[in-house]
Chain A
């Protein structure tokens, strides 16, 4: 079993839809949670960063962490074709940071 599980997709939605992307994990020591967005043939870019449990909002993006369920989510409101990319979750225990990544979910937003 992988330490971080993420559905590879692709997830196809129409423009304007609310998108929910999720990861589950098995290591209860994870404290830092990140979402990266990766466009085709580009490097991952940091989208959201959350410490411990709770919600964090940034524009159309909301990151949610439920440590009791070992489950994190990224919500995208009013999705746009420019949101079409692969979304990677990542997490670490803290101190010296070794990130553990999910395999990524490919999102396709059609006009």
Chain B
């Protein structure tokens, strides 16, 4: 998984509770991404980061926030979890944003269930 770890790997939580997922990389790549994967929707981009403290919204950002205080860590926070946020969450990294080196590599995923 290209030097990417995600924690926790599994989590069950209750509606209304805050949840933070962590992505850690050892590749020193500049770009990091958070996706969610749901049946019938494929992978959808939630937020991404193009450097420390530089983040932007993706396609499905409502209800999520992110932070990146170090190159190697990208945190995804669900401020108040809802059942619609039950999903598998993947972190991805890429070296750059142009040419062959912009290929994204994915972590192992976090399976989140919101009851």
Question: CB within 8 Å of B: which residues of A?
Answer: 6, 8, 32, 34, 36, 41-46, 49, 88, 90, 94-99, 101-104
Contact = CB atoms under 8 A, between A and B. Distances in A.
B72 to A, nearest CB: 18
A101 to B, nearest CB: 4
B42 A43 contact: no
A44 B106 contact: yes
Contact of A97 (B58, B97, B107, B108): B97
Contacts of B45: 98-99
Interface in B52-109: 58, 90, 94, 97-98, 100, 102-109
A101 B43 contact: yes
Interface of B: 1, 4, 31, 40-45, 48, 50, 58, 90, 94, 97-98, 100, 102-109
A43 B103 contact: no
7 contacts: A6-B42, A34-B103, A42-B109, A43-B109, A45-B106, A97-B94, A99-B43
Contact of B50 (A32, A44, A96): A96
A102 B40 CA distance: 9
A94 B97 CA distance: 8
Nearest to B100: A49
Nearest to A94: B98
Nearest to B41: A103
Contacts of A104: 42
Nearest to A97: B102
A103 B42 contact: yes
B42 A42 contact: no
Contacts of A6: 42
Given A43-B1, A103-B40, A97 B104 contact: yes
B100 A44 contact: no
Nearest to B56: A96
